[in-house]
Amino acid sequence: MDAPPTRDRILIATAELFRRQGYAATGLKAVVTGARAPFGSLYHHFPGGKQQLATEVVHASGAYFQALVCAVYDEQPDTAAAVRAVFDGAAETLAATDYEDACPITTVALEVASTDEVLRRATAEVFEAWTAALTERVGDRDRALAVLSALEGAFVLCRATRSTAPMLAAGRMAAAHATSVTVT
């Protein structure tokens, strides 16, 4: 199998570093080392530098994660089972990856929310796309926002405490809420 082209290797290496340590801690030297790419290739492929690279990574990671979650969701027989499957799958992945593989954009989203408007908008567009995909599935936007909040927050607590208990507890709440008859 051929190695992916340089541009893709740079995006993949950056996504991995962002997920693990966030935006500010990720230097361009670590990116090119991770991507096995010459330093010059970075500005050749991303003339806008770190901000352009980060914007593309946020969008690409967002689309990848959305496809993954929707695939897990859509193979379940009903809404409650589907929501539970997403949270259970997230718990399994966290445990299997030493609590590294969580939401690909949250750390960056929090780092840039008040400091980089271009990047903040990129993260907002991803969260908006996820909310829209989930709204289609759980029937209304408020439920989708609540379920997504529970998932994002559980990622934080699980990573910090090195436990899957928050994800499993949040999944039970989210599944019940997604199928509740009235939203009070």
Q: Which residues contact a copy of itself (rule: CB under 8 A)? A: 20-25, 98-100, 106-107, 109-111, 113-115, 120, 123-124, 127-128, 141-143, 145-157, 159-162, 165-170, 172-177, 180, 183-184
Question: Phi then psi for 182, rounded to 5 degrees?
Answer: -120, 140
> Which residue's CB is nearer to a copy of itself, number 35 or number 102?
102
- Indicate the SS3 state at residue 171: helix
Nearer to a copy of itself, 42 or 134 (CB): 134
CB of residue 55 to a copy of itself, shortest distance in Å: 14
- Rounded Cα gap, residues 22 and 29, in angstroms: 15
Which residue number, 133 or 168, has a Cβ lying nearer to a copy of itself? 168
**Taking the complex as a whole, how short is the minimal distance between the CB of residue 85 and a copy of itself, in angstroms?**
15
Tokens of 16: 């991995």
Calculate Rg over the CA atoms of the chain: 17
**Nearest approach, Cβ of 115 to a copy of itself (angstroms)?**
5
Q: Which is closer to a copy of itself, CB of 56 or CB of 106?
A: 106
- Are 173 and 80 in contact by the 8 Å Cβ rule? The answer is no
> What is the CB-side half-sphere exposure of residue 134 using CA atoms within 13 A?
28
DSSP character for 97?
A: T
Residue 32 or 175 with smaller CB distance to a copy of itself: 175
The residue assigned the tokens 């027989």 is 77
CB of 1 to a copy of itself, least distance (A): 28
Minimum separation from the CB atom of position 125 to a copy of itself (A): 9
Q: SS3 for 7? A: helix
